[in-house]
Structure 1
Amino acid sequence: MRDMAQNTQGDQMPALPRLGGRRSSYRERVADALRAALIAGELRPGEVYSAPSLAARFGVSATPVREAMLDLAKEGLVDTVPNKGFRVTAVSDRQLDEYTHVRALIEIPTVVDLARTADRVSLEALRPAAREIVTAAVAGDLIAYVEADTRFHLGLLALAGNAHLVEVVADLRKRSRLYGLTALVEAGRLLASAEEHLELLDALLERDEKAVHAIMTRHLGHVRSLWAATD
């Protein structure tokens, strides 16, 4: 078994982290690692990767890799290619616009309401994640950036007490993954978006609903502009 992933032209991809632990955890952990590879641009849109070659990278059998890829297929991140493997799906401008629109409909009013309902202790508990986002942006660590960003936003929405709402937004975030952001990191363009998380947190703590609405609107628009710049 060759220790590489292939596209249809036989290109190589960077090595992925090897996984240990119990077999029962492989599927979820492999899926997380594959998402990280998508974010970092190691798995590129339009290319086909085989389960056996990815399994060699993880040091596991092909079965949990196939299962993880099927999970990603349900999220719209990959498509199955009979007898070859899985093709990483590209996300169109129209899809990104639609994802952003739905997120705005859900997240903006929900977060504005938190300016009235969320307690200070719960809000302050999100500050470490907000700081991690900024640190990751400065360091150019895309995976750490997205992981901290996800913890912050889903943690914030969870304060509304609606688990299904959090689930829907989590799915939208996966579908609108931030792949191919290397050029943006090199240009230093992630920092402004990262700092908005601390700004939003301060506005929530000040119970300033107008400011929260303005920051959330700007932030989602800013995120969409980052996606557009990767096209």
Structure 2
Amino acid sequence: MPGTDGPAVIRSTLRQQIADALRDEVLAGRLEPGQEFTVKEIADQYGVSATPVREALVNLTAQGLLDADQHRGFRVHEHTLADYRGMLEARGLIADGIFRDLARTADTRDDMSDALLSVRRRGEEAARAACAGDLNVLIGYDLRFWRELSALFGNPYLSDFLHRLRVKSWVCAVTHLRRWSEQGGGDLRGALWSRHTELVDALVCRDPAAAHAIVVEYNAHSLSLIERLATA
């Protein structure tokens, strides 16, 4: 019957909006690792009922961004350097599979060139933000860049998994990046990886080996930076 699913759709949309907003709060550093809060506090903050908030928090807990405490509510998950290393390794393995598939199927896809051109534009914006040291803008474009790139693989489950993994790795990294910047370590210009367009160019040339090498350098750069900041 028309309208039967209306309230459920509205609630689902609200739940996702709250989950997205809280995820952005974590990425922006306004919700810090270990910070605790309750369903009521979040519901009051956004002026909504407790049900979609609870559903959003459970969703973020399932993604590994929050920890649930039966008696105290929720808290932002605290990732370790070992977690970060594992995330980088997993990202690299997924990326390699995507690169090989795109190189193999490029000849059979008429839309591949246009799709990669669109991804490259996201890469240009990400690289520009990285060079400027603008972390907020970089994270947004970097996530869109990889989401669009992985979508070309044609498997929405893998694309969604990689996106969540990249969100988690940014959450882990951003804690150290923001803390270093705010404590007088200096701005982030020149410290952030910015070779997005080179990666797309390698894929346009159907060279998965070159794309692999770029991602290996990316992961090594990221790990070295975060390890250095974590021990500073």
Q: Please indicate, yes or no, whether the TM-score normalized by the shorter chain is above 0.5.
A: yes
Superposition pairs of residues 28-43 of structure 1, within 5 angstroms:
28-43=16-31
- The amino acid across from 1:32 in the alignment is D
Partners of 2:131 and 2:189 within 8 A in 1: no
Q: Distance in 2 between the 1:158 and 1:196 partners?
A: 20
Query: Within the alignment, does 1:144 sit opposite 2:144 as a pair?
Result: no
Question: How big is the shift at 1:32?
Answer: 0.7
Which 10-residue stretch deviates more, 144-153 or 107-116? 107-116
Question: How big is the shift at 1:37?
Answer: 0.9
Query: Within the alignment, does 1:79 sit opposite 2:103 as a pair?
Result: no
Superposition pairs of residues 96-135 of structure 1, within 5 angstroms:
96-118=84-106, 119-135=112-128
> Number of aligned pairs?
209
Match of 1:203 in 2: 202
Q: Distance in 1 between the 2:197 and 2:226 partners?
A: 21
Q: Distance in 2 between the 1:116 and 1:191 partners?
A: 34
Match of 1:56 in 2: 44
Match of 2:221 in 1: 222
SS of equivalent to 1:125: helix
Higher helix share: 2
Q: Distance in 2 between the 1:171 and 1:192 partners?
A: 20
CA RMSD of aligned residues (A): 2.4
Question: How big is the shift at 1:230?
Answer: 5.0
Question: How big is the shift at 1:134?
Answer: 2.6
Q: Distance in 1 between the 2:61 and 2:115 partners?
A: 35
Q: Distance in 1 between the 2:131 and 2:215 partners?
A: 22
Partners of 1:203 and 1:212 within 8 A in 2: yes
Match of 1:177 in 2: 170
Partners of 1:44 and 1:88 within 8 A in 2: yes
- The amino acid across from 1:69 in the alignment is L
Partners of 1:75 and 1:174 within 8 A in 2: no
SS of equivalent to 2:153: coil
- The amino acid across from 2:210 in the alignment is A
Provide the TM-score with structure 1 as the length reference: 0.78
Runs of 5+ in structure 1 lacking a partner?
Answer: 1-21
Q: Distance in 2 between the 1:136 and 1:60 partners?
A: 34
Which 10-residue stretch deviates more, 57-66 or 124-133? 57-66
Runs of 5+ in structure 2 lacking a partner?
Answer: 1-9, 107-111
Match of 2:15 in 1: 27
Question: How big is the shift at 1:141?
Answer: 4.2
- The amino acid across from 2:147 in the alignment is L
Structure 1's 209 and 81: CA in aligned 2 closer, same or farther, altered over 3 A? Answer: closer
Match of 2:81 in 1: 93
- The amino acid across from 1:57 in the alignment is Q
Structure 1's 65 and 139: CA in aligned 2 closer, same or farther, altered over 3 A? Answer: farther
Question: How big is the shift at 1:112?
Answer: 4.3
Structure 1's 229 and 114: CA in aligned 2 closer, same or farther, altered over 3 A? Answer: farther
